[in-house]
A and B are shown apart, each in its own frame.
Chain A
Amino acid sequence: EAGVTQFPSHSVIEKGQTVTLRCDPISGHDNLYWYRRVMGKEIKFLLHFVKESKQDESGMPNNRFLAERTGGTYSTLKVQPAELEDSGVYFCASSAQGYEQYFGPGTRLTVT
């Protein structure tokens, strides 16, 4: 069974540009989460989808971040326009209801 996959693994963009991160959860997992680790800090929650609906987006830093999960399958996280402080590693995780979360390998975003 394929695990959670994320694309790209690494992205380097300039301040002001747009970047879109993609997450493909484990098939059949209704829950999809986005998290972020900024250098030197603990991993922080961004948002939680249940199927295609946003269950909790309390961790989204500001309106430069837009997450979607069309059809309840894969999800995208768009940052527009990117700022220096958006640099970090973005993790996606998925789970079946009430069960452990399975993490993707992460996307390392560097904004210069």
Chain B
Amino acid sequence: KNEVEQSPQNLTAQEGEFITINCSYSVGISALHWLQQHPGGGIVSLFMLSSGKKKHGRLIATINIQEKHSSLHITASHPRDSAVYICAVSGPNTDKLIFGTGTRLQVFP
């Protein structure tokens, strides 16, 4: 069992839909990261959070430390949101990242 689990693995949506991607982890962490990779593109950091909630544009990330769970929400989804979304955690005594397998999102017009 991976230390970081994401669900779903694949997700399709119609433009405008509200999207949720989930991440659960089983290790102690200092921070949780949400990353995005477009097809053929590099990895971009979306959020780094250790508690509560962060918002950037149409993206919202939340974390529940007690339940070891985080969610990434996309409001009013758009085809340009189509990408792989990756959850990763960094431990309490290290900055190295432990990655989930990613969620492939496709948003259709």
CB of B2, distance to nearest CB on chain A (Å): 7
Once A103-B44, A104-B42, A105-B42 are accepted as A-B contacts, the answer to whether A41 and B101 lie under 8 Å apart by CB is yes
The answer to whether the Cβ of A48 comes within 8 Å of any Cβ in the partner chain is: yes
CB of B79, distance to nearest CB on chain A (Å): 23
Contact B2 A101 (CB under 8 A): no
CB of A17, distance to nearest CB on chain B (Å): 26
Residues on A lying within 8 angstroms of B by beta carbon are 31, 33, 35, 41-45, 48, 56, 59, 91, 93, 95, 98-106
Contact A42 B96 (CB under 8 A): no
Contact B100 A42 (CB under 8 A): yes
Contact B95 A31 (CB under 8 A): yes
Provide the residues of chain A in CB contact with B86, threshold 8 Å. 43
Alpha-carbon distance A46/B93, docked complex (angstroms): 17
Contact B102 A101 (CB under 8 A): no
Provide the residues of chain B in CB contact with A100, threshold 8 Å. 33, 45, 48
CB of A44, distance to nearest CB on chain B (Å): 7
Q: Which residue in chain A gives the minimum CB-CB distance to B47?
A: A100
Alpha-carbon distance A23/B76, docked complex (angstroms): 37
Alpha-carbon distance A43/B4, docked complex (angstroms): 11
The answer to whether the Cβ of B85 comes within 8 Å of any Cβ in the partner chain is: no
Contact A43 B48 (CB under 8 A): no
Contact A101 B45 (CB under 8 A): yes
Q: Which residue in chain A gives the minimum CB-CB distance to B101?
A: A42
The answer to whether the Cβ of B25 comes within 8 Å of any Cβ in the partner chain is: no
Once A41-B101, A42-B101 are accepted as A-B contacts, the answer to whether A103 and B96 lie under 8 Å apart by CB is no
Provide the residues of chain B in CB contact with A35, threshold 8 Å. 97, 99
Q: Which residue in chain B gives the minimum CB-CB distance to A102?
A: B45
CB of B81, distance to nearest CB on chain A (Å): 19
